[in-house]
Structure 1
Amino acid sequence: MSDVTAVPKQTSRRTVEIELGDRSYPIIIGHGLFDDGFIWSSAGEGDCAAIVTNTTVRPLYAESLAKAISSRFKRVIVIELQDGEVYKDAASLNHIFDRLLTERADRKCVLFALGGGVIGDMTGFAAACYMRGVPFVQIPTTLLAQVDSSVGGKTAINHPLGKNMIGAFYQPRLVVADLDTLSTLPARQFSAGLAEVIKYGPILDLPFFDWIEANIDALISRDPDALGHAIQRCCELKAAVVAKDEQESSVRAVLNFGHTFGHAIETGAGYGVWLHGEAVGCGMVMGADLSMRLGLISEAYAMRLRRLIERAGLPIVGPRLGADRYVELMGHDKKSEGGEIRFVLIHDDGHASIRTAPGAIVRQVIEANC
């Protein structure tokens, strides 16, 4: 019997397919991908390519990407946005449109999202809207984006009343996850990404949860074999869910484990004060506590998840916004129906469900963890 805790040796390239009929596309994972000309043949070609990035990522990787795709496009423009969740808004979206219109980009222009989840979400939404839809490519440069936000076609901007409330489902042509970009990722950002890695275990794959526990130190130290395996497995799990439920009408919503509490933390604290992964990590602690109080998991399981999240360098106590404020903010969650808040809850046997919970118990969870 194979050891589920072992770290598979890194191969030069791993590919995961998103199966969506004529809108299927590959996720390519590996090192040195910017220099692989064959990869970019799937991105398209034409008169114009627009690289959308931010002030942090542009000096690191924009020139390399522009060089990699320059043989396929007559001109490559770079659209630079400010860095941070606070800039994931309508003003930044309009800045992308302003540049595209100024440059006379046509409907064959390909947008390249070079950055983390904020850049990926905004670029995808811009691509969905510009001239009623132009192609785009995801090039995630953060761990969180490589394992989650770049995969599956969810695009959005934030609103003062709620995170990701304005957006569209719009699939990219290609996702290129170059693991070399993680070498420049700050430790706090890296830990935030680990939250989205951890979430896949309790909701979809308990053996993977075991593997993460056994290899959390290797992941924190950015061991290439451990990272390559974790990113591949996360993408495989998400790809299978997206293929079944592209527009989150049913099973895909379980991928939001920790996000109902987490989005409330992000919005209530002010966008950018908590990183998305930090809020999700703390939200998972609260989600596990709620699952325990409802009798779905044991206290030992809830504590096991809490310890793993803490080992990953993530906060496990939420900001003191007050139970009323949490409930108000969670009421804007996209899973809410008929005015009732619905939570992703985990079960001892390794699956997740989506349901409402008694308000008194929800308040107990908030008061115990914030």
Structure 2
Amino acid sequence: MALDVELYQGESRRLVRTQPLIELLRPAFAEELAGHPGRPRFVLKLRNDPGPAGYEGDPGLTNLRPDFGYIHVAIQVEGRVVHQKPYSVNGLVGPVLAQVARKIAPEERHWAFRIAGLPAAEDAQRLPPVVDGADDIDVSRSARLSFGIRPAAEPQVPLLDLTGYGVVPEEGDEPVTVLLGPGVQRRLMDMELSKEVEEGGFLVGRPFRRADDPERYAVIVDEVLPAEHSGASLMHFTFTGDSFRAMSRTLGEHPPERQLVGWYHTHLFQTERTIGLSRTDIDLHRDTFRRPWQVAALINLTSTRRILSCYAASADWMASCPIRSLDDDTDSRRSAHPSLGHH
């Protein structure tokens, strides 16, 4: 099926350009095609995974079909695959369209685009599977049930002086400071991770309230537990009930102060947004990891690098968390970083 990209100008969204998607993408892959003489063949697979609302470049562009937010590109030359990788639609198409928009009307700030020929939004929805054996419980009638229901007691969270770990406390609105215990950064940076599907697991450690600001938290991550019995695809990672049961058994073998302080998963594409988590990631975190000190760690994989970022719930959004590896003793008093990585 041939797909076209439509470019719209102004607040009235007047259609000003229609161009085949494949023609738009060819210049974007000039570097990947260098050294491969012959006519390239592009195989494009758009994925029905919601992405960001638009391209945040100059000028910005609103994506009118963010429900198809990602695209897998494979390039063949003379029958041999010379490049294949998933991309966000905004990150791949946005810079090219922004250049076109600047040539059409340099002063215009309102632009939008859509990939035409996709299924209608209502046809693209996928309903969640029906859970066999589930039932709804009205907790207001718990006195008449054959079993009792009461809230679990919140664990006591002790105070922690960050200066004792070589971190200079800074004023800000970051809800959680993440300290990676001995060997944890090496574990995250060197562990075997798939480049075909997302992977993930759990972070075990100790939560604290910051001594300088008890309304904010710090967590020390002591161990990384890859999830068992998990589901995965190119764009999504899913925990199952068996994943949590296996984690709980392992956690039961730890000292009582060790707790589930968060989770991690990989992304196989680069993000153009300041926050790398997808809407699905945010919903998973808010529904499952509800304690204010639990964090979501994201490992962005590229062909040459791994970049680690952490996020925690803040109001109705996810805020970036500063990270400090306790293996890094080159400067005994330094601020925590927003991300860590290696080549």
The two structures have a TM-score, normalised by structure 2, of: 0.23
Structure with greater helix percent: 1
Structure with the larger strand share? 2
